[in-house]
Amino acid sequence: MTTINKEEIQKFSKMADEWWDVNGKFKPLHMFNPIRLDYILDKVSSFFKLKRENTLPLKGLKILDIGCGGGLISEPLARLGASVTGIDASEKNIKIASLHAKKNNLKIDYINKSPEELKANEGFDVILNLEVVEHVDNLDLYLNSCSSLLKKNGIMFTATINRTLTSYIKAIVGAEYILRWLPIGTHDWNKFLKPEELEKRLVKLNFVIEDLVGLDFNPIISKWKKSTNLSVNYIILAKKN
């Protein structure tokens, strides 16, 4: 059994050379990164009682970034002191990420594997599933694999897109066809998940939902902000019991 969708991997492998081009095909993720990173840091610091003002506030934490792509989230977390492992089913993504980390003298353990293929002896304190679950096959296997890699009382961030009419208009028609932020066919609306569907699966795996927040894009100032609006992008924070 596997969570790997070969068509999805091929799609992202074709774009892999553009991961670090802020004006390339991954421009939306570069715009998205500050708000995602701020939210992650805020919740991790609060949960593990860390001081964000410290030079290396995440020192001592083991973080797994699943579907790490070119390392857009892995790198800033490593700079903040975390011991980061980034995994991706695309070999090309891992090569790009490894090369970029090396150039920037960052020690990140990049591995070309999917979560069900990974073995972690001690487990991770934090797992990141950022814009991944809508691209995998066998979601239950995927989430079960994540659970087995997370320490007891560890936390997991799952960021994805809601399956609503609004998300179809904004995330597919708007982002892919009108604004051309993403290549046409990047997303399949039918694979989007409603928050309650994801929450139900997580609770079944003995997770406790700690937080649920929406993310909204302001086109006037071209920035993302946290929101109570869950109709398009949202993040679920869950703790493993």
Judge whether 196 lies within some domain: yes
Judge whether 104 lies within some domain: yes
The whole-number pLDDT of residue 128 equals 98
* CA–CA dist 9, 92 (Å, integer): 10
Dihedral of the alpha carbons of 200, 202, 206, 212, in degrees to the nearest 10: -90
User: Helices then strands (H, E): number in the chain?
Assistant: 7, 8
Q: Which of 49, 69, 68, 71 is nearest to 60 (CA)?
A: 49
Amino acid identity, position 13 = S
> At CA 112, angle to CA 18 and CA 21, rounded to 5?
10
Judge whether 38 lies within some domain: yes
Judge whether 105 lies within some domain: yes
* CA–CA dist 42, 46 (Å, integer): 6
User: Average pLDDT, stretch 213-238?
Assistant: 93
Phi, psi of 210 (to 5 degrees): -95, -30
User: Average pLDDT, stretch 91-112?
Assistant: 97
**Contacts of range 21-26, beta carbons closer than 8 Å, 24 or more positions apart:** 25/182, 25/183, 26/69, 26/70, 26/72
139-176 tens-digit pLDDT: 999 999 999 999 999 999 999 999 999 999 988 998 77
DSSP 121-151: SS-EEEEEEES-GGG-S-HHHHHHHHHHHEE
Judge whether 1 lies within some domain: no
Q: In total, how many domains does the chain have?
A: 1
Judge whether 171 lies within some domain: yes
61-96 tens-digit pLDDT: 999 999 999 999 999 999 999 999 999 999 999 999
Contact 73, 45 (CB under 8 A): no
Judge whether 127 lies within some domain: yes
The larger pLDDT score, comparing residue 114 to residue 184, is at 114
The larger pLDDT score, comparing residue 196 to residue 185, is at 196
pTM: 0.94
* CA–CA dist 146, 104 (Å, integer): 29
* CA–CA dist 48, 76 (Å, integer): 18
> At CA 20, angle to CA 223 and CA 193, rounded to 5?
60
> What range defines the domain where residue 115 resides?
6-240
Question: Which residues are bridge partners to 153 per DSSP?
Answer: none
pLDDT greater than 80 at residue 179 = no
Q: Which of 191, 143, 148, 141 is nearest to 1 (CA)?
A: 141
The percent of residues above 70 in pLDDT, for the chain, comes to 100
Question: Which residues are bridge partners to 63 per DSSP?
Answer: 84, 126
Residue 66, domain CATH: 3.40.50.150
28-72 tens-digit pLDDT: 889 999 999 999 999 999 999 998 888 899 999 999 999 999 999
